[in-house]
């Protein structure tokens, strides 16, 4: 039965000489003895992964490996890459890479947790730092207050050690208080001025913004050609402003350099002498250039003679014209002086008694003005005298009261001393009444004189106006 089967009826053979299924055709026994299955491999070598067993039994072929997953080369199918160094994993399959990925994920997770803990710690330290900073500010304010109190206490101890009087301490206190009040007022004034300036600046900025908007509106209403021209001019202006800024910076740097060089020169006598020599050299060079230019501009002697003669003639003509103008002006001045003198004579003739009355009124007005100007000074003097007398009276009354108290304590007192004290008291009372009556009289006299002065002034002005009108009429008639 076995001899009746033909080899052509078997499945196709691969390039390795074996079927794709890896087993012989059904009904055919594998040859025994020295015969071998044609596998395309040299004799004595086992197929990779076969472990020396028969084909189709156990080994790698029994595992679920897809042919499509295995890479194909020019020499046929190739197996998975295996490790070659040490006791490592020989096949790097999916489970190996999954384990490696899990280990990396766990490392990343631990690192993230570590970083998160560090962030929380930093946040806690930052919040603690902010609280400590606020506390430090409050403590600094308290330290300043305590330092001020300590300075006050030290000053008080110094005053006590130096046996300073209480009045001196109170005077220092009042002086410092007045100084603080003045500085507080000045600070308030500065603050109000600053607010006013800020308000003014805001209003100016608003006006500038309005002007910018108006300018933008005008630019939008312009023709395209004018807009292009405006933009060109604007860019040119910006460039010029930038150049101006750079030049200003250069000027500032040069000024600073100049100041530094001047400072260096001021400290060195040799440099000062060198500067003087340079200035002298510059003057000589400029004088030389001027002389060279004059020499070049000069012509022949005949031309120079003609030029000088012409210049002299022009100067003589100008001098003659100026002398004529001067004589004309002198004649006019003489004429005007004669007219003024004639007018003065006519005025003196026409004034007569009116001029005398005007002089009297003028003199009286001057006296009243002097009285009004010196009234405040005299009034202040009298008020000071009155205040001094009142202070003296008060002091004397206090003295009298103390003496009376002493007299009450004394068992016996003479009538003569009592009479003297009574006379003294009466004298002081009369002096006080006299000073009060003097002040009242001065006030009433001031009011009366003020009214009289106003009346006289109005009357004098009216008389002066009448005199001027009469003189104007007389001059018109003449």
138-147 residue pLDDT tens: 999 999 999 9
Q: How far apart are CA 156 and CA 144, in angstroms?
A: 18
**pLDDT value at residue 248:** 93
**pLDDT value at residue 256:** 92
pLDDT in tens, 448-475: 877 777 777 777 777 767 777 777 776 6
**pLDDT value at residue 51:** 41
**pLDDT value at residue 55:** 40
- Sign for the pseudo-dihedral over CA of 139, 145, 149, 152: positive
At 168, the pLDDT band (50, 70, 90 cuts) reads confident
Specify whether the CB–CB gap between 111 and 122 falls below 8 A: no
**pLDDT value at residue 68:** 47
Helix (H) or strand (E) holding 148, with range, is: helix 94-161
At 245, the pLDDT band (50, 70, 90 cuts) reads very high
- Mean pLDDT throughout 271-282? 87
pLDDT at 4 over 80: no
Q: Answer with the residue of higher pLDDT: 66 or 157.
A: 157
Q: How far apart are CA 221 and CA 202, in angstroms?
A: 28
**pLDDT value at residue 44:** 43
**pLDDT value at residue 85:** 52
Specify whether the CB–CB gap between 90 and 83 falls below 8 A: yes
Cross-strand bridge partners of residue 73: 76
Alpha helices in 352-414 (DSSP H): 353-409
pLDDT in tens, 40-71: 444 444 444 444 444 434 444 444 445 444 55
Q: How far apart are CA 48 and CA 81, in angstroms?
A: 13
pLDDT at 91 over 50: yes
Q: At what angle do helices 269-297 and 224-266 cross, to 10 degrees?
A: 130
Q: At what angle do helices 301-351 and 353-409 cross, to 10 degrees?
A: 80
**Angle at the Cα of 280 (from 278 to 285), degrees rounded to 5?**
90
Specify whether the CB–CB gap between 442 and 344 falls below 8 A: no
Specify whether the CB–CB gap between 37 and 55 falls below 8 A: yes
Contacts 24+ apart (CB under 8 A), 417-424: 424/396, 424/400
Scanning the structure block, which residue is given the tokens 């600053």?
A: 194
Q: Answer with the residue of higher pLDDT: 207 or 76.
A: 207
At 413, the pLDDT band (50, 70, 90 cuts) reads low
Say if pTM beats, i.e. exceeds, 0.75.
no
DSSP annotation of 12:
P
Low-confidence winner among 263-267, 294-298, 341-345, 376-380 (lowest mean pLDDT): 294-298
């Amino acid at each position: 039965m076995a001899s009746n089967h033909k080899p052509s009826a078997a499945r196709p053979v691969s390039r390795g000489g074996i079927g794709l299924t890896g087993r012989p055709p059904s009904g055919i026994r594998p040859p025994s003895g020295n015969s071998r299955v044609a596998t395309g491999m040299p004799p004595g070598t086992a197929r990779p992964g076969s472990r020396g067993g028969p084909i189709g039994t156990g080994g790698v072929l029994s595992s679920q490996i897809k042919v499509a997953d295995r890479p194909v080369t020019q020499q046929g199918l190739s197996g998975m890459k295996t490790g070659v160094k040490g006791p490592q994993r020989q096949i790097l399959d999916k489970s190996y890479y999954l384990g490696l990925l899990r280990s990396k994920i766990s490392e990343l997770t631990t690192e993230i947790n570590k970083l998160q803990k560090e962030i929380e710690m930093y946040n806690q330290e930052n919040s603690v730092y902010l609280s400590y900073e606020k506390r430090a500010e409050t403590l600094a304010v308290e330290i300043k207050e305590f330092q001020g109190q300590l300075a006050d206490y030290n000053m008080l101890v110094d005053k006590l050690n130096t046996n300073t009087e209480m009045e001196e301490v109170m005077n220092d206190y009042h002086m410092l208080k007045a100084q603080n009040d003045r500085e507080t007022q000045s600070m308030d004034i500065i603050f109000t001025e600053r607010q006013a300036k800020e308000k003014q600046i805001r209003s100016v900025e608003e006006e500038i913004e309005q002007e910018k908007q108006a300018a933008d509106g005008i630019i939008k209403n312009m023709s395209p050609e004018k807009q292009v021209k405006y933009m060109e001019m604007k860019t040119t202006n910006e460039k010029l402003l930038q150049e101006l800024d750079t030049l200003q910076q250069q000027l500032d740097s040069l000024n600073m350099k100049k100041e530094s060089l001047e400072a260096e020169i001021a400290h060195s006598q040799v440099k000062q002498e060198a500067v003087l020599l340079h200035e002298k050299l510059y003057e000589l060079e400029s004088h030389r250039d001027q002389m060279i230019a004059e020499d070049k501009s000069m012509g022949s002697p005949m031309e120079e003679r003609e030029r000088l003669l012409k210049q002299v003639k022009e100067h003589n003509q100008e001098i003659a014209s100026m002398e004529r103008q001067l004589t004309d002006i002198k004649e006019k001045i003489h004429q005007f002086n004669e007219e003024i003198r004639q007018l003065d004579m006519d005025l003196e003739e026409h004034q007569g008694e009116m001029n005398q009355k005007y002089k009297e009124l003028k003199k009286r007005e001057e006296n009243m003005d002097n009285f009004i100007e010196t009234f405040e000074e005299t009034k202040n003097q009298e008020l000071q005298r009155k205040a001094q007398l009142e202070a003296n009276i008060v002091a004397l009354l206090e003295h009298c009261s103390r003496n009376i108290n002493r007299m009450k304590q004394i068992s016996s007192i003479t009538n003569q001393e009592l009479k003297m004290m009574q006379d003294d008291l009466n004298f002081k009372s009369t002096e006080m009444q006299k000073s009060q009556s003097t002040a009242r009289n001065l006030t009433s006299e001031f009011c009366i004189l003020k009214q009289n002065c106003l009346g006289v002034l109005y009357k004098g002005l009216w008389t002066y106006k009448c005199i001027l009108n009469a003189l104007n009429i007389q001059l018109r008639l003449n």
